Every structure is written in C-alpha cells, then in structure tokens.
Structure 1
Amino acid sequence: MKKRIIILGSVVLAIVALWSLAWFVLAGLVKQQIAAQAQADGITAPQITCGTLNVGGFPFRLDADCAQARIVSGDAVLELPGIRASIQVDNPTHMLASALGPLQVTDTFTGSRNAVEWSSLQASVRLSNWRIARASLSAKDIVWSDTLVGQTLIAQTPLAEIHLFDIPEQHDPERQTTALAGYMLANGLAYPGLSLTDTSAELQIELSGLPDDVRNWGEPSLLPNLQAANGQLTIVAAHGTDAASTLDASGALMLDPQGQIDGQITITSTGVAERIGPLLEEPWRTLVLGKPAPDGTYANQLNFRAGGIFSGLVPIAAIGPLY
C-alpha cells in the first residue's frame, strides 16, 4: 500500500511539474507574441507597445496585462492606462478582455485630441474553428470629450453595446467565407452639438463574404476577396429617436469590380432636418433627407454607384475606390 501511495504521489508530482512547465512555456510565447507587435510599422499593421507587460494567471489561466499601452495606426495614436486579456488554458478559443480609461486619442495629421472615459469596459470573443461564434463589447458611463483646448463634451451615454454573431447557414466551407450579424445599442445618449438628450440608437447589420478564418482578416487582399465573394453589408435597420425626432435607415452596400461602393440606403425621418439645420445647409439638407411630406416626415434614397453618391439622379459627393 505504501509503495502504491509513493507511486501515485510521484505521478501526481510529475503531472504538476509537466503542467507547470507547459504553462510557463505557453506564457512565454504569449508574452513574446505581444511584445513582437512593438516592431510593427503602425501602417500596414498596428504598432502596440506596453510600458509594462506581464503574463500571469497560473495555473489555469493566461492573463496578459499591458500597462501604459500605446497603439499607433496610421495617423492615430491611442493611449490607455491598461489593457487585460484572459483565456482559460483548457478553453483557448474564448477570450475575455477589459481596459482601464481614459483613452487618449491623438491625430498626428490634424493635431486633434480626444479623450474617452468609462466606468467599465468589457469584451468577449469566442471562436469556433477560427470563425467568430460571438464577440461582444460593453461599456458603461461613457464620456467622449475634445481635449485639444480645455475639455469640451462631445457625447456621453450610460450604456453602449456591440455584438457580433456568426450566421451558420451562410458559412460556405468550399469558398471559405462566412457571414456575421451585428447589433449595436446606445441608451440615454446625449450629443450637445445637436441638442440631443436621452436619445436611443440601435443598429442591426449583416456582413457576408468574410473570410471564415479570422487570421486572414488582416490580409491586404481582404477587400478584393470580399468583392469576389459578392460580400455585402446589409443595414437591416438603423433607428434613432428622442422626444422630438426620429431617424430610420436601411439598405445594402457592396463593392463593384473597381473597388467602388455600390448600393442604396433609404432614409426616413421626422424632426431631424430642423435639428441639423445649422450643420447641413441647403441644398445639401434636402439632397440627403429629401423634401417634407404634408405630415412633416422626410424620405429619401441615397444611391452609391461609379464612385459617387447620388440623391435620386443628382450627384452630391464622390468616393474613391477602397482598394
């Protein structure tokens, strides 16, 4: 009996030792991969640097903590006090993340500076065979301010959420494409620039033709492949309302062979034209929102084709090819 106990104890110790070794090796690889992002050029791929980078969570989690994070992407520089990402070792396809605010955003080209604060910001991403099964982002007590000179409130909301869901029936294993449904929500939104208070906004979209492997989303050929797969952004419903106005939109957009946006968006509204008068003067306000009906509602369709935006047959703006 004593011999069996010794053997069993030795086996347990061996398993613990092997598990510990594997965890520390994996933690080292994770730290190495994150640290490697500091070598990116910040143009073709975001450059991410950490004032302090630690990987903990032994023995069953991997918690990557990046303190004083700095992200450079093109002209945009984002700075955060801290970012944490965590996965369970036995469930590596499900990642939880959080961030400390405020987020400082600087545009090195225009010189603008913004700050975004929150009381809580949580994210979750779950993969299935490298496809997004579900991704969510939730933030509470968001305050967005212009900080170039002093601090001027741009917008605030007590709650904002973004969710992405896989659409299994649109997965095409042969073409290696998939589709996602998206839902976005903001409650109690205030936007002083348009005198908006206690506004609710919702957006439902579907995006098809995406690569079914998220590791390919950063490829330069993403947009050409999206066009070749007849990928489409469908605005199922966009709805915003407050005590004095409503705005609804729906439509579908895709890319033509030249990489230009093609499609239509239908807009209906009440009280919006009067509210945005100072920001969008005539004739542009009518070209975008349409003319009022006898009951005070507005309706219009914006058409995207051949590198332009048209209100009916009237061109109102030009958009260059996306690739």
Structure 2
Amino acid sequence: MKKRIIILGSVVVAVIILWSAAWLVLAGMVRQNIEVLASADGVTTPSLACEALGIGGFPFRFDIDCSNASIVSGDVSVDMPGIRASVRVYAPTHMLVSALGPLQLTDSFTGTRNAVAWSGMEASVRLDNWRIARASVSGKDVVWSDTLFGDAVIAQSPVVEVHLFDIPEQHDAERQVAALALFGRAQNVAWPGLTLADTNAEIELELSGLPDDVRNWSDPLVLPALQQAGGELKVVSIRGTDAGSTLDASGALRLDAQGAPEGQIAVTSTGVAERIGPLIEEPWRTLVLGTPAPDGSHANQLNFRAGGIYSGLVPIAAVPPLY
C-alpha cells in the first residue's frame, strides 16, 4: 500500500513538473509572438508595442498584460494605458479581453486627436475551427472627446455594445466562405454638436462571402475574393430615435467587378431634416433624405452604382473602388 502511494505521489509530482515546464514554454511562445508585433511596419501590418509585457495565470490560464500599449496602423495611432487578454487552458479558442482607458487616437494625416474614456470596457472572442462563433465588445459610461484643443465632448453614452455572430446556415465549407451577423446599440446617447439627447441607436448588419478562416482576413486580396464569392453587406436595420425624431435605413450593397459598391439603401425619417438643417444645406439635405410628405416625414432611396452615389437618378457623390 505504501509503495502504491509513493508511486501515485511520484506520478502526480511528475505531471506537475511536466505541465509547469510546458506552461513556461507556451508562455514564452506567446511572449515571443507578441513581441514580434512590435517590429511590424505599421503600414502593411499593424504594429503593437507594450511598455511592459507580463504573462501570468499559471497553472490553468494565460493572462497577458500589456501596459501603455501603442498600436499603429498607417496614419492612425492608438495609445491605451493597459490591455489584458486571458485564455483558459481548457478553452483555448475563447479569449476574454479588458482595457483601461482613456484611449488616445491620433490621425497624423488629418491632424485630428480624439480620446475615448470609459468606466468599464470588456470584450470576448470565441472561435470554432478558426471561424468566428461570437465576438462581443461592451463599454460603460463611454465618452468620446476631441482633444486637439482642450477636451471637448463629442458624444457620450452610458451603454455601448457590439456583437458579431456566425450564421451557420450560410457557411460553405467547400468554398471556404462564411457569413457574420452584427448587432450594435448605444443607449441614451448625447451628442451636443447634433443637438441629440437621450437618443437610442441600433444597427443590424449581415456580411456574407467572408473567408471562413480569420487568419485569411489580412490577405490583401480578401476584398476581390469576397466579390468573386458573391459577398453582400445586408443592412437589415439602422434605427435611431429620440423624443422628437426617428431615422430608419435598410438595404444591401455588393462590390462590382471594379471593386466599387453597388446596391440600394432606403432611408425614412421624421424630424431629422429639421434637426440637421443648420448642418447640411439644400439641395443636399433633400437629396439625401428625400422630399417631405404631407405628414412631414421623409423617404428616399440612395443608389450605389458605377463608382457613384445617386439620389434617384441624380449623382450626389463619388465612391472610389475599394481595391
């Protein structure tokens, strides 16, 4: 009996030692992969640099702490006080992320500087065979400010959330394409520049023709592949409401052979034309929202074709090819 206990104890100790060694090796690989991101050029591939990088969570998690993170992509740079990502050993395809604010966003091309602050920001991503099963981001007490001159609040909301869901019935394993549904909402939005207060906004979109492997999304040919796969952005619903106005939009867009969007977006509204009157002069306001009906509501259809946006048959803007 004593011999069996010794053998069992030895096995347990060996397993602990082996797992400890394996965890340290994996943690080292994670660190190395993150540090490689700092050497990216920030143009063709976004770069991520951490002032301090820590890997913890032993024995059943990998907790990645990146303090004073800096992300650069083209002319845009994002600085954050801290990002934490956690992956459980027994659920390696499910990542939990939290972030400290405020986020500082700088565009060196336009010269703009913005900040986004929050009391809580959390995200999660779950994959299924490298296909997104679900991805979510939620923020509390979100405040967006212009910090180029002082600290002027642009908009704020107590609750902002965005969710991505896989659409299983549209997954085509043979063609290796998938589809995603997006749902987002913001509650009690205040936007002083647009004289918005207590505004609720919701958006529902569906995008088909995507590569079913998220590792291929960074391929520079992803948009031509999406076009060839017959991908479509379906605007199921965009809706904004406050005490005195409503705005609804729906429709669908695709990419033509030249990479320009084509399709239609229907827009209906009440009280919006009066709200944006000081911001958009005629005839542009009517070209976008349409002529008023006897009850004061507006309705219009925006058509996208041949690299342009049309209000009915009237061209109102040009859209460059996306590839």
User: Do the structures match in fold with TM over 0.5?
Assistant: yes
Asked whether 1:103 is paired with 2:103, we answer yes
The alpha-carbon deviation at position 90 of structure 1 amounts to 1.3
1:6-17 equivalence runs, <5 A:
6-17=6-17
Instruction: Quote the Cα distance in structure 2 between the aligned partners of 1:81 and 1:303.
Output: 43
Instruction: Quote the Cα distance in structure 2 between the aligned partners of 1:95 and 1:137.
Output: 12
Instruction: Quote the Cα distance in structure 1 between the aligned partners of 2:300 and 2:43.
Output: 38
Asked whether 1:61 is paired with 2:37, we answer no
The alpha-carbon deviation at position 277 of structure 1 amounts to 1.1
1:1-323 equivalence runs, <5 A:
1-323=1-323
The alpha-carbon deviation at position 78 of structure 1 amounts to 0.4
Q: Which runs of 5+ in 2 are unaligned?
A: none
Alpha-carbon deviations, 1:286-323, whole Å to 9, x = none? 00000000000000000000000000000000011000
For the aligned residue pairs, the C-alpha RMSD in angstroms reads 0.5
Instruction: Quote the Cα distance in structure 2 between the aligned partners of 1:85 and 1:17.
Output: 26
Q: Give me the TM-score of the superposition, normalised by structure 2.
A: 0.99
Alpha-carbon deviations, 1:86-113, whole Å to 9, x = none? 0001110000000000000111112211
The alpha-carbon deviation at position 7 of structure 1 amounts to 0.6
The alpha-carbon deviation at position 235 of structure 1 amounts to 0.5
SS state at 2:149 partner = coil
Instruction: Quote the Cα distance in structure 2 between the aligned partners of 1:183 and 1:63.
Output: 28
Structure 2 residue identity aligned to 1:268: T
Instruction: Quote the Cα distance in structure 1 between the aligned partners of 2:89 and 2:45.
Output: 27
Instruction: Quote the Cα distance in structure 2 between the aligned partners of 1:245 and 1:102.
Output: 32
After TM superposition, which residue ranges in structure 1, 4 or more long, deviate above 4 angstroms? none
The alpha-carbon deviation at position 69 of structure 1 amounts to 0.1
Instruction: Quote the Cα distance in structure 2 between the aligned partners of 1:188 and 1:239.
Output: 13
SS state at 1:144 partner = strand
Instruction: Quote the Cα distance in structure 2 between the aligned partners of 1:226 and 1:277.
Output: 38
Alpha-carbon deviations, 1:59-94, whole Å to 9, x = none? 000011000000001111100000010000111000
The alpha-carbon deviation at position 2 of structure 1 amounts to 1.1
The alpha-carbon deviation at position 254 of structure 1 amounts to 0.7
Instruction: Quote the Cα distance in structure 2 between the aligned partners of 1:302 and 1:48.
Output: 39
Q: Give me the TM-score of the superposition, normalised by structure 1.
A: 0.99
SS state at 1:17 partner = helix
Structure 1 residue identity aligned to 2:317: A
SS state at 2:123 partner = strand
Instruction: Quote the Cα distance in structure 2 between the aligned partners of 1:305 and 1:138.
Output: 35
SS state at 1:39 partner = coil
Alpha-carbon deviations, 1:265-287, whole Å to 9, x = none? 00000000111112111000000
Instruction: Quote the Cα distance in structure 1 between the aligned partners of 2:41 and 2:252.
Output: 34
SS state at 1:257 partner = coil
The alpha-carbon deviation at position 45 of structure 1 amounts to 1.1
Instruction: Quote the Cα distance in structure 2 between the aligned partners of 1:230 and 1:280.
Output: 35
Instruction: Quote the Cα distance in structure 2 between the aligned partners of 1:94 and 1:202.
Output: 26
Aligned length: 323
